[in-house]
Amino acid sequence: MKAFTHIDGLVCPINRANVDTDAIIPKQFLKSIKRSGFGPYLFDEWRYADQGEPGMDCSQRPLRVDFVLNQPRYQGAEILLARDNFGCGSSREHAPWAIEDFGFHAIIAPSFADIFFSNCYKNGILPIVLPAATLDKLFAECEAQVGYRLNVDLASQKVTTPAGDSFDFDITPHRKHCLMNGLDEIGLTLEHADEIRAFEGRHQVAQPWLFA
Amino acid sequence: MAGKTLYDKLWESHLVREEDDGTCLLYIDRHLMHEVTSPQAFEGMRLAGRKPWRSASIVANPDHNTPTEHWGDADGGLKEPISRLQVETLDANIKEFGALVYFPFKHVNQGIIHVIGPEQGTTLPGMTVVCGDSHTSTHGAFGALAHGIGTSEVEHVLATQTLVAKRSKRMLVKVDGKLGAGVTAKDVALAIIGKIGTAGGTGHAIEFGGSAIRDLSMEGRMTLCNMAIEGGARAGLVAPDAKTVDYLKGRPHAPKGADWEKAVAYWDTLKTDAGAVFDSVIELDAASIEPQLTWGTSPEQVLPIGARVPNPAHEADPQKRAGIERALQYMGLAADTPLTEIKVDKVFIGSCTNSRIEDLRAAAVVAKGRQKAANVKRVLIVPGSGIVKRQAEAEGLDKVFTAAGFEWREPGCSMCLAMNADRLEPGERCASTSNRNFEGRQGPGGRTHLVSPAMAAAAAIAGHFVDIRQFQEARS
């Protein structure tokens, strides 16, 4: 996994609540057996005027020009502003894969759906929870200023606006450590293989039918 | 000392280790897999040269891509090359890595993984159950801690038999009293989501309790726990009881002999202690729950069948108002229209929410001796598994459906998410017993209304939504 430490990036706002993972990456793209190449199909139904199918050359497809990702001012955005319950619905990790492949590295929202939230960390994406009132302010600033950027620093756990307003965010030490160092979580867990084996032995004695 | 909740007991009995920041390593008993969210995990294992920790924990089966007709064709109806590749990739991966149970495409027992697990007795009380699928919450109906995970976590469980996780908050949803005639577990689930919202359970595991929950069959409890995720909760739970034990007894992978007695005694301890504290408690009166129908593009956009389509002008919150307007536009609905005047183009009865034998029986009661309305193009009845299908056929339900002009299909996920050929065309409106009414869920531009199996069957007959209570009264 790629490490995440710090980003100073252009911001793109998705101003609606309950954005589900079916919208982030529609089901027809889930037929791939690869982890990469989902970026061109991110928000496919909102982004393109035709019906997307896997393998399409997206550079030739008609765009829905009103959708934020298609607006010139947001090209090259690396930080996504979102509303409540972002990433709800299906557990598909193709959603963070598409977001990361498109070029986003951080998502800021008042709340995230649980499975999507943990999937982000596995893919070097930092999901940041800030209060709804703060998001209102960031949305207003972002929509008012072309080229609006935010500075996200994981070490100090701060989001800083161009005007110098700064907002602290929470993250567990474990997740912070993994993200900052781009660590392979499986490798970390396997350092405790003896403990897992010992637990498994006790568990099998207590509930042998689970191992029958 | 305060007692423990069922969730606490399940968590503690699987806790391998805990970091100072509350990050836990949780042992996983059962790993369910399907073809869509597993290929990248197996590939990761291969690239890292890792072996599965305990392949005997795996129960797998393709279900999302599999067709529900033309199984007799040379290609089994699996026409699309990338769908076929995904299904065959699961075959190859299970062959290489192993599994306790694997039903390949067209096996007599194949079906939706969340129907298969309980049916085979591979979902048991007290287990931890995961799957790269959000509807894994279904298995909580057995008093198992069950939830969906991402593909990276699928790989983590394959390699380590554990999951890195933090404790959830505990929510109790208590439904007391008697459900009215025509009101089902699906209506209870939708009513709960209508009350708490799709993010109401975020960060929580929900335990469903109260006399109305105890009165539900195992099938009904599965429907309810299945939709916990639509209320934002990764896991739903119902404490095991005599119904749970009766359901499991004699199933292929249920404990046998002395193990059975020991297991049943243990399962009896799996309940929330008196005095245990929940972080939040939601109460509903069963008698006040009416048949439900979603009108919008989120499961929380739900109303009792007697209501009218909401009018955004009555919503003060500008963000919510915009959400209602957007949903009405997508759904092609005018504000204030009575829900019973909404006509449907297609009907889908199936999915991990409502494809079990009880669901098909409920639909058949409504369909018996009646005919699909002329304006309804297609009614798909998709059983949850080969076993459900054969049971339904033994009871003659297939004949009831086909006589009514419905289509009796092979098992699979089908039009719940339209990864196979079963889908809505743009603008088509569907009465569906599935779990998500998101934009494009059943096909790009498709419009989904979530209902119970009986309500879906009644919409197929009437051509528009109806109050199942009046519909069945009119018959008698």
Give the residue from B207, B180, B293, B303 showing the smallest Cα distance to B4: B207
How many C-beta neighbours within 10 Å does residue B46 have?
Answer: 12
End-to-end distance of chain B based on CA atoms, in angstroms?
A: 55
pLDDT of A212 higher than 90:
no
**pLDDT at residue A2, as a whole number:** 81
Mean pLDDT over residues B389-412, rounded? 98
**Residue-wise pLDDT tens digits, B63-107:** 999 999 999 999 999 999 999 999 999 999 999 999 999 999 999
Mean pLDDT over residues A7-23, rounded? 97
A-chain residue closest to B418, CA distance = A27
CA angle B266, B271, B275 (to 5 degrees): 135
The B residues from 247 to 286 touching A (CB cutoff 8 Å) are 253, 255-256, 259-260, 262-263, 266
**pLDDT at residue B277, as a whole number:** 96
- CA gap B283, B195 in Å, rounded: 10
Measured between beta carbons, the chain A residues lying within 8 angstroms of B418 are 27
End-to-end distance of chain A based on CA atoms, in angstroms?
A: 36
- Contact indicator for A46, A67 with CB cutoff of 8 Å: yes
**Residue-wise pLDDT tens digits, B17-65:** 999 999 999 999 999 999 999 999 999 999 999 999 999 999 999 999 9
CA angle A42, A45, A49 (to 5 degrees): 115
Measured between beta carbons, the chain B residues lying within 8 angstroms of A170 are none
Which helix H or strand E contains A107, and what residues bound it? strand A106-109
**Residue-wise pLDDT tens digits, B261-316:** 999 999 999 999 999 999 999 999 999 999 999 999 999 999 999 999 999 999 99
Give the residue from B150, B164, B166 showing the smallest Cα distance to B21: B166
- Contact indicator for B146, B240 with CB cutoff of 8 Å: no
Q: How do B280-285 and B169-176 pair as beta strands?
A: parallel
- CA gap A86, B305 in Å, rounded: 29
The B residues from 180 to 239 touching A (CB cutoff 8 Å) are 198-199, 202-203, 229, 232-234
Dihedral sign, Cα of residue B131, residue B136, residue B139, residue B145: positive
Answer whether B439 sits within 8 Å of A195, measured CB to CB: no
**pLDDT at residue A1, as a whole number:** 79
**Residue-wise pLDDT tens digits, B142-194:** 999 999 999 999 999 999 999 999 999 999 999 999 999 999 999 999 999 99
**pLDDT at residue B82, as a whole number:** 96
Structure tokens at A118: 């943990």
**Residue-wise pLDDT tens digits, A78-111:** 999 999 999 999 999 999 999 999 999 999 999 9
Q: How far is CA B277 from CA A170, B1, B8, B214, B273, in A?
A: 26, 11, 11, 20, 9
**pLDDT at residue A181, as a whole number:** 94
Give the residue from B404, B196, B373 showing the smallest Cα distance to B298: B196
Has this prediction a pTM greater than 0.90?
Answer: yes
Q: How far is CA B401 from CA A146, B347, B362, B387, in A?
A: 59, 12, 12, 18
Give the residue from B411, B461, B471, B394 showing the smallest Cα distance to B67: B411
- CA gap B60, B76 in Å, rounded: 19
Q: How far is CA B68 from CA B33, B107, B111, B252, B415, in A?
A: 20, 13, 10, 25, 10
Smallest Cβ–Cβ distance between B83 and the set A31, A113, A199 belongs to A31
Categorize the per-residue pLDDT at A24 as very low, low, confident or very high, splitting at 50, 70 and 90: very high
**Tokens 């007391």 sit on residue:** B176
Structure tokens at B334: 């005018």
The number of CA neighbours under 13 Å toward the Cβ of B119 is 22
Burial letters B344-353, b for 16+ CB under 10 A, else e = bbbbbbbbbb
The pairs formed by B387-390 with CB atoms below 8 angstroms and a separation of 24 or more are B387/B109, B387/B111, B387/B119, B388/B111, B388/B115, B388/B119, B388/B355, B388/B356, B388/B357, B388/B360, B389/B111, B390/B108
**Cα B104 versus chain centre, distance:** 21
Instruction: Identify the weakest region by mean pLDDT among B217-226, B249-258, B318-327, B370-379.
Output: B318-327
* Contacts for B390 with CB less than 8 Å, ≥ 6 apart: B108
- CA gap B81, B323 in Å, rounded: 38
**pLDDT at residue B475, as a whole number:** 79
Alpha helices in B145-241 (DSSP H): 151-160, 185-196, 211-214, 218-226
**pLDDT at residue B320, as a whole number:** 87
Q: How many helices (H) and strands (E) does chain B have?
A: 16, 19
* Contacts for B366 with CB less than 8 Å, ≥ 6 apart: B454, B457, B458, B461, B468, B471, B472
- CA gap B201, B344 in Å, rounded: 31
- CA gap B204, B388 in Å, rounded: 32
Measured between beta carbons, the chain B residues lying within 8 angstroms of A34 are 40, 43
pLDDT of B474 higher than 90:
no
**Residue-wise pLDDT tens digits, A125-163:** 999 999 999 999 999 999 999 999 999 999 999 999 999
* Contacts for A64 with CB less than 8 Å, ≥ 6 apart: A46, A47, A48, A49, A70
High-pLDDT (> 90) share of chain B, % = 98
Structure tokens at B116: 């298969």
Measured between beta carbons, the chain A residues lying within 8 angstroms of B198 are 18, 85, 88
pLDDT of B1 higher than 80:
no
Mutation for testing the B interface, residue in A115, A121, A188, A197 having most B CBs under 10 Å: A115
Mean of pLDDT over chain B: 97
Dihedral sign, Cα of residue B259, residue B265, residue B266, residue B268: positive
Torsion region of B74: left, alpha or beta (phi above 0 gives left; psi -120 to 50 gives alpha): alpha
pLDDT of A57 higher than 70:
yes
Structure tokens at B466: 């109806």
pLDDT of A203 higher than 70:
yes
Answer whether A92 sits within 8 Å of B23, measured CB to CB: no
CATH architecture of structural domain A6-172: Alpha-Beta Barrel (3.20)
Structure tokens at A25: 């990456």
